[in-house]
Chains A and B, each alone.
Chain A
Amino acid sequence: MDKNSFLIQAIVYLSAAVVAVNLAKRLGLGSVLGYLFAGIAIGPYLLGFVGEEGKELMHIAEFGVVMMLFVIGLELEPNLLWRMRKLILGLGGLQILVSAIALGSIAYLAGQVWQSSLVIGLILALSSTAIVMQTLTEKSLLKTKAGQSSFAVLLSQDIAVIPMLAIFPLLATQQTNVVSTSFIANLPGWQQTLLVLAAIGGIILAGKYVVGPVFRWVAKTHQRELFMATAILLVFCIAELMIMVGLSPALGTFLAGVVLANSEYRHELESDIEPFKGLLLGLFFIAVGASINFGLIAANPGLILTLVLGLVIVKGVILYVLGAFFDIKGDQNMLFAVALAQSGEFAFVLFSFAGQYQLLDEQTTSVLVAVVAISMALSPLMFVLNERLIMPRFFTKQKAKRESDDIHETHPVIIAGFGRYGNIVGRFLKANGISATILDNDSDRVDLLRKFGFKVYYGDASRFDLMKAAGAESAKLIIIAMDTPEQCLQMVSLVKSHFPHLKILSRAYDRKDAFDLMDAGVDNIYRETLDSSLRMGTDALSMLGLRAYNTHRAARTFLRYDEKALTELLNYRKDTSSYIKVARDRIAELEELILSDMRDIEITERDSGWDSDALRKAVAGKDVSGNASSNEIF
C-alpha cells in the first residue's frame, strides 16, 4: 500500500483531526491544541505517517490563514477600523518595536551579528494570528477589551510583515542571487511602488464596483455551489495578485474583506468561506505540529526550553506593561499578554526568506523554527492555564464589558424574507426605531432595497451557517416571511432545532399553511389575507349604513372567534386525518369554514353591557309588579 497516495494521506489527516480535536474539546482544551496534537501524533517522530511532505502541506494550509483574514475583514466595517486606529498604530506599533529591540538584544548578546539580531527580533515579535484568533473566537472573547486589543495588535503585525520583507534584503551582508517569486521584482523601485499602489487601489475599486454585480449575476442562477465557487475564486484572485506584487496575500484578502463588509453579500460570503477556512486552518495547525523537530529538541533540550520560556516571558511582560499603558485592566490585561506571547506562523515564512539572504545560518534557523513551533503549541495550553489557575487566583473575575464598537452588528430582530409581506413589517419596526437584520434570497430585490438604503443581506436564510452569521445567537425574535410555505416551514424547523431561544413570528398563506405551522409548534401565526379582508368587510358594512364602531368591533370579534376555531379545528383535523386526506382540497376547506362560521352567531350577541334590551325588560317588569328592583336601574 502506498503510504503517500492521496486517499491514504487524507484518511490519516482527517482521522487524526477527528479523534484529537474531539478529545481536546472534551477536555476543554480547544480545537487548536487538538489539531496540534494530531500533527505531533502523525508526525515523523511519533507514528511517522507524515514525512518531509509535511512542509509542502504547510504551504497549502497557510491558505487557511489567508481565508481567515478575509472573513475577519468581512466582519469589520471600514469605519470601525478607523475607530481602532489608536490601538492598531499605537499599541501594535509599540509592541513590535519594543519586543523586537528586547529580543534582538538578547540575540546580540548571544553572539549574533547585529543584522541577524535585528532580523530575529523582528520575526519573533510577531504573534500567531491563526492560533490567537481561532482561540479567542472559540472562547467568545473577541468582543472583550482583551480580544479587541489582541486583534488590533495582530492586525498591525500583519501589516508590519510588508516593510520587513522590504528591509531584510537591505540588511544582507553578502550579495546573493535570489530567485524571487515576485513578478515585479526586476522592475525599478518606483515602478514597484506604483504597481503595489495600483494593486491595492484595484482591490478597493473592484470590491466596490465589480464584485457586487458579479455576485448578483451569479446569484440569479440560484446555484449555491456556483456562488461558493465564485467566493473562493475571488479569494484566490486576490491572493495571486498580492503575490505578484510581492505583498502578503493575507493582507490583500483582509483588505478585500473590509471593502465587502458593507455589501449585501457579506453574510453569504462569510458562511461560504467559513468551512474551507476552518478545514485549512486545521490542516495548518496539524502541519505545525508535524513540523516540530523532536530530534533537534532531544539533542539540546535545555537550550530549546530556555529559549521558549525566555521568548514567552519577554513577550508576555512587554505586552502586559504596554497593555497597562493603554488602559487594559486586570484580568483583561493578563489575557491580552497570555494571548499574544507566542510567535507566529509568519516566522516560518520570514525565516526561510531571511535564510535566502544569508542573514541566518541553517543551525540557528532550525533551532528558532523549533522554538516558534513549540511556543505556538504551548499557546493554547497557556490559555487554559491562565483561565483555570491564574485568573481565579489573582483576579476577581471582572465582567467582560461589551464595547459598543462590536465587530458584528447585532440586532434584536431577524427578518427572513423581505418581499411584499416582510417589507411592511420591517418598515414598521424601523419607523419605531427597531433595526432588524434582513435576509432575502432574491438578488434583484436585495439590489433594489439597497439602493433605498435598507441594509439587506443576500442569502438563503434557512441555512444554519448564514443564520449564525446574521447573529441568530444573540437576536430575540425572528420574523419569517419567506416567499413560499415550504421555505417558511424549513426555516421554522431550523430555528426550533438550532436557535430555540428565538421567538418565532411566522406568516401563513392560508388555513392549511397555518395548520402546518401550528403542527410545527409556532405560536404566533399571521394569515396574510385575514386582517385586510376583514378591513374590507368592515368598510363594506359601513357603506351599507352600519355604524363604524359597530362594524369595527364586529371585525375584532370575528377575528377572535376565527382564531379560536382554527385551534379547535387543528385537533379535528388530526383526528380525521385520513378523511381529510381523501377529500383534501376545497370541499374540506369549505366544510371547515362553515363549521367555524356557525360560531359567528356569537358575534351578534356581544357587548350586552351596552344593550338596553335587558334593562328595558327589567323596567317593564317593575311597571307590572311594582317591586323593589326599580331602584337598581340607573
Chain B
Amino acid sequence: MASVLILFAHPVYEKSRVNRQLIDKIADLDQVTIHDLYEVYPDFDIDVAQEQALLLAHDIIVFHHPFYWYSVPPLLKQWMDLVLEHGWAYGKGGTQLRNKKIFNAFSSGGSFAAYQKEGHNRYTITELMAPFDQTAFLCKMTYYPPFVVHNSHLLSPEEVAVFADQYREIITGLRDGRFSEDDLVSASYMNSLIQKSYSL
C-alpha cells in the first residue's frame, strides 16, 4: 500500500464549500496524511527540514488547493520555493524525490468549456498545469493529471458530495495501486480514471 501526503493550502478554509467536503471525505483513510499548511504556517514561516522529512515519508504527493489566478495560493508557492531545495530535490545530488508521484487536486470556478482554446480562459487545464508538470520533472517525480472540480460556485451541496466521493475513490485507488500507470500518465484529468470524465 502506498502512502499519500495531501499538502492542503486554503487561506479561507472556514468559508470553503467544496474543498472542506473533499478533505472531510478522506480524513479517516489509512496511510493518508493531511497536512493543512495554512493551519501550520499562518505566518508563512515554513519549517523546511520538517517538510522534507514529510516528503521522504510518503510515496504520493497531492497539492490540494483552490485554483487562484490559474495557480496555487501563495503559501503553497512559498512551500515550493523553500522546500524543493537545490541539491536536495533537484540539481546536483538532488535526488531525494526521485520516482515519487505528484499531482494537483483543485476546485475551479470556471467550467470545463471555459478551459478550452475557444473558451474564455483560452488554455486547457493541462496547459496551465505546465509549471507543476515541469517542477515534477525537474525533481525526477512522475506528474499525474489533476483532479478538478469545475463550476465550484454553482454546485449544489449534493453535487459537491458526489465529487467528495469521487475524490475518496481516487485517493484510495492510488493508495492501493488500482490504476494502471499507462492510464495515469496519458489521462488529461484524474477524474476520467474512475469514468467521471468532463466533456463538452
Binding site for B on A (CB under 8 A): 553, 556-557, 560, 606-610, 614-615, 618, 621, 629, 632-634
* Complex contact A609–B45 (CB within 8 A): no
Which B67-115 residues have C-beta < 8 A from chain A? 81-87, 90-92, 94
Please name all residues of chain A whose beta carbon is closer than 8 Å to the beta carbon of B54 when the two chains form the complex: none
Please name all residues of chain A whose beta carbon is closer than 8 Å to the beta carbon of B92 when the two chains form the complex: 618, 621, 629, 632
Which B13-36 residues have C-beta < 8 A from chain A? none
Which B105-156 residues have C-beta < 8 A from chain A? 134, 138
Given A618-B92, A632-B90, A632-B91, residue A609 in contact with residue B138 (CB < 8 A): no
Q: How many residues of B contact A (CB 8 A)?
A: 17
- Residue B43, interface by CB 8 Å: yes
CA distance A629 to B48 in the complex (A): 24
Please name all residues of chain A whose beta carbon is closer than 8 Å to the beta carbon of B47 when the two chains form the complex: 560
Task: List 5 contacting pairs A-B, 8 Å CB cutoff, sorted by A.
Answer: A556-B43, A607-B82, A609-B85, A610-B82, A634-B134
* Complex contact A609–B91 (CB within 8 A): no
* Complex contact B43–A609 (CB within 8 A): no
* Complex contact B45–A556 (CB within 8 A): yes
Please name all residues of chain A whose beta carbon is closer than 8 Å to the beta carbon of B91 when the two chains form the complex: 614-615, 618, 629, 632-633
CA distance A560 to B40 in the complex (A): 14
Which B41-58 residues have C-beta < 8 A from chain A? 43, 45, 47-48
Nearest chain B residue, comparing its CB with the CB of A556: B45
* Complex contact B87–A557 (CB within 8 A): no
Shortest beta-carbon distance from B170 to chain A in Å: 30
Shortest beta-carbon distance from B130 to chain A in Å: 12
* Complex contact A610–B138 (CB within 8 A): no
Please name all residues of chain B whose beta carbon is closer than 8 Å to the beta carbon of A634 when the two chains form the complex: 134, 138
CA distance A560 to B134 in the complex (A): 34
CA distance A607 to B83 in the complex (A): 9
Nearest chain B residue, comparing its CB with the CB of A613: B86
CA distance A272 to B84 in the complex (A): 62
* Complex contact B45–A560 (CB within 8 A): yes
* Complex contact A609–B90 (CB within 8 A): no
Nearest chain A residue, comparing its CB with the CB of B43: A556
Nearest chain B residue, comparing its CB with the CB of A610: B81
Which B156-189 residues have C-beta < 8 A from chain A? none
Please name all residues of chain A whose beta carbon is closer than 8 Å to the beta carbon of B82 when the two chains form the complex: 607, 609-610
Shortest beta-carbon distance from B14 to chain A in Å: 12
CA distance A632 to B98 in the complex (A): 14
CA distance A618 to B94 in the complex (A): 12
* Complex contact A609–B87 (CB within 8 A): no
B5-19 vs A, Cβ < 8 Å mask (1 yes, 0 no): 000000000000000
Shortest beta-carbon distance from B7 to chain A in Å: 15
Which residue, B45, B47, B138, has most C-beta atoms of chain A within 10 A? B45
Please name all residues of chain B whose beta carbon is closer than 8 Å to the beta carbon of A608 when the two chains form the complex: 48, 85-86
List 10 additional A-B contacts (Cβ < 8 Å) besides A560-B45, A609-B84.
A606-B48, A608-B85, A608-B86, A609-B48, A609-B82, A609-B85, A614-B87, A615-B91, A629-B91, A633-B91
Nearest chain A residue, comparing its CB with the CB of B86: A614
* Complex contact B86–A553 (CB within 8 A): no
Contact for B138 among A556, A606, A614, A632, CB less than 8 A: A632
Contact for A557 among B45, B83, B86, B94, CB less than 8 A: B45
Please name all residues of chain A whose beta carbon is closer than 8 Å to the beta carbon of B81 when the two chains form the complex: 609-610
Nearest chain A residue, comparing its CB with the CB of B41: A556
4 cross-chain pairs, A with B, having the tightest CB-CB distances, nearest first? A609-B82, A556-B45, A614-B86, A609-B81
CA distance A606 to B85 in the complex (A): 12
CA distance A605 to B120 in the complex (A): 45
Please name all residues of chain A whose beta carbon is closer than 8 Å to the beta carbon of B90 when the two chains form the complex: 632
* Complex contact B86–A615 (CB within 8 A): yes
